[in-house]
Chains A and B, each alone.
Chain A
Amino acid sequence: MANLRLRPLLRALHRDAGYLGVGLTVVYAVSGIAVNHIADWDPSFSDYERTHHVRTKLAGDDDEALSRAVLGELEIVAAPREVFRAGDDQLDITFDDRTLHVTLSTGEVLEQGQEPRFFLRAANYLHLNRGKRAWSYIADAYAVLLLFLAFSGLTMLSGRKGFWGRGIVLVALGAAVPIAYVTLS
């Protein structure tokens, strides 16, 4: 039977598609769990806030010089993206990943920043397709691969242990879960 001749081929393809999909499955599954619980935490970044005190007297109108004085005392070597006088007494020094809010009269510095979470930042970036463009094609291809895995998986075993035995019960159960959820919620 043609059906029987196809099974070994499908099994081989199923195996290879499975190998191919491991990397992206890890990315999407781990990111999926992380993003599902976005109400409890920021899945991509951890925020931090620190306060510093600068002893150098911060006076004058030269914002760049004031910024250099603050960065020098805090031993920050990175170049700021922007130095901005937010008010008579407030200087904001912005970097890519943090901002220093300096109160000039007191020398108090509030540092607000965020650090990317290991692996999750990149995984969520891909999962949420923040990059768009080429990643859309890769994500679409992966979705097609998953569909192939699902349907080829149905044919892996013949007989009572295959689709027409235990398989159909489990497929029905798997389909019933989302249907019941949508219907009852």
Chain B
Amino acid sequence: MGKAVIVPSMSRRTFLQAGLAAGTFVIALGGHSYAVADLEAMKKARATIRPDGRSRLPPHQYLIRKLRPMGGSAGDPAPGAFRLKVHGEVESPFTLSFKDLLAMPNIEQTVDVHCVTRWTVLDARFEGVLLKDIAERAGVKKSARYVIFEAAEGYTSNVRLREALAPNVMIAHKHQGKPLSLSHGAPVRAVIPDLYFWKSAKWLTGIRFSARDEPGYWEIRGYHNHADPWKEERHG
């Protein structure tokens, strides 16, 4: 029997050309999603200087108009089931229910949000309780150096105490005047505007004051331990 000759239905050259064309098409589609950003608004934000002397738009960020959910393992959104454990290096640990949280001094503040994936939302409105008020009530011990935000399904994020107690860090239950949606961390999330947003744990269940640093969920997976958007501290 003679050796069978296999004739390819497509030459390698044709195959490579088709692959190149498909790749160009996909890249063009991806580029389109970035082109929709408002360039004038980005220029203005970049030129605006914050009170701390830094540009309002951190380097290599682009503007979008509303928060993207960015996934995560959701917790129980039922406010009646919500409990926030405040513990660790504190004089008086306590647990807050949703009603307890509402009974504390609530404020509304407008902040800018920066995601490590490079999008930024300006003027995001959140309503909730300042973390420094919660810390004051708990009586943070001098030994505390870090705050560990604990959330559903074992998610954690670590923030230096001084930064966690900044006047714009809050425990929020409303966004844009509406209760938080499930994908944004209902019923309660942390909001730490001056660090990349993965630090702002959604579906919050605990705030632990700690004497030592404990890298959180993303930090042990290669993301930066500090996460300053102006220093582009994206990866460790």
Q: Once the chains bind, are B68 and A84 in contact (CB under 8 Å)? A: no
Of all chain A residues, the one with the shortest Cβ separation from B183 is A47
The answer to the question of B80 belonging to the interface, with a C-beta cut-off of 8 Å to chain A, is yes
Q: Which of B50-58, B69-77, B205-213, B223-231 participates in binding chain A?
A: B69-77
Task: Indicate with 1 or 0, residue by residue over A13-47, a CB within 8 angstroms of chain B CB atoms.
Answer: 00000000000000000000001001111111101
A99 partner, pick from B81, B99, B186, beta carbons under 8 A: B186
Q: Once the chains bind, are B178 and A84 in contact (CB under 8 Å)? A: no
CB distance from A6 to the nearest CB of B (A): 22
Of all chain B residues, the one with the shortest Cβ separation from A97 is B182
Q: Once the chains bind, are A112 and B178 in contact (CB under 8 Å)? A: yes
Q: Once the chains bind, are B183 and A101 in contact (CB under 8 Å)? A: no
Tell me the B76-120 residues at the A interface (CB within 8 Å).
Answer: 77-81, 98-99, 102, 115, 117-119
**A101 partner residues in chain B, CB cutoff 8 A:** 178-179
Tell me the A156-183 residues at the B interface (CB within 8 Å).
Answer: none
In whole angstroms, what is the CA distance A47 to B186 when docked? Answer: 13
Q: Which of A70-78, A86-94, A136-144 participates in binding chain B?
A: A86-94
Q: Once the chains bind, are B179 and A112 in contact (CB under 8 Å)? A: yes
Q: Once the chains bind, are B102 and A86 in contact (CB under 8 Å)? A: yes
In whole angstroms, what is the CA distance A35 to B69 when docked? Answer: 12
Q: Once the chains bind, are B33 and A40 in contact (CB under 8 Å)? A: yes
Given known A92-B79, A99-B77, A101-B179, contact A47–B69 (CB-CB < 8 A): yes
Q: Once the chains bind, are B182 and A114 in contact (CB under 8 Å)? A: yes
Given known A39-B115, A41-B68, A84-B98, contact A114–B179 (CB-CB < 8 A): no
In whole angstroms, what is the CA distance A26 to B151 when docked? Answer: 32
Q: Once the chains bind, are B117 and A38 in contact (CB under 8 Å)? A: yes
Of all chain A residues, the one with the shortest Cβ separation from B118 is A39
Q: Count of A-B contacts with CB under 8 A?
A: 71
The answer to the question of A133 belonging to the interface, with a C-beta cut-off of 8 Å to chain B, is no
B interface residues, how many (CB within 8 angstroms): 25
Of all chain B residues, the one with the shortest Cβ separation from A86 is B79
Task: Give chain A's interface residue range (CB within 8 Å of chain B).
Answer: 20 to 34
Of all chain B residues, the one with the shortest Cβ separation from A46 is B183
**A40 partner residues in chain B, CB cutoff 8 A:** 33, 68
The answer to the question of B181 belonging to the interface, with a C-beta cut-off of 8 Å to chain A, is yes
Given known A39-B119, A86-B79, contact A49–B68 (CB-CB < 8 A): no
**A110 partner residues in chain B, CB cutoff 8 A:** 178-179
Q: Once the chains bind, are A42 and B69 in contact (CB under 8 Å)? A: yes
Given known A86-B98, A113-B182, A114-B183, contact A42–B70 (CB-CB < 8 A): yes
Of all chain B residues, the one with the shortest Cβ separation from A90 is B179
In whole angstroms, what is the CA distance A49 to B184 when docked? Answer: 13
Of all chain B residues, the one with the shortest Cβ separation from A80 is B78
Q: Once the chains bind, are B80 and A39 in contact (CB under 8 Å)? A: no
Task: Indicate with 1 or 0, residue by residue over B173-200, a CB within 8 angstroms of chain A CB atoms.
Answer: 0000011011100100000000000000
Given known A87-B102, A99-B179, contact A130–B73 (CB-CB < 8 A): yes
- 5 tightest Cβ-Cβ pairs between the two chains A and B: A39-B117, A82-B78, A84-B80, A94-B78, A112-B181
Beyond the given pairs A44-B71, A86-B98, 9 more chain A to chain B contacts, judged by CB atoms under 8 angstroms and listed by A's residue number, are A40-B33, A42-B69, A49-B178, A49-B181, A82-B80, A83-B80, A86-B99, A92-B78, A112-B186
List residues of B whose CB falls within 8 A of some A CB: 33, 68-71, 73, 77-81, 98-99, 102, 115, 117-119, 153, 178-179, 181-183, 186
12 CB contacts below 8 A, A to B, read A38-B70, A39-B119, A44-B71, A82-B81, A84-B79, A84-B80, A86-B98, A86-B179, A94-B80, A99-B182, A110-B179, A114-B181
List residues of A whose CB falls within 8 A of some B CB: 35, 38-45, 47, 49, 81-84, 86-87, 92, 94, 99, 101, 110, 112-114, 124, 130
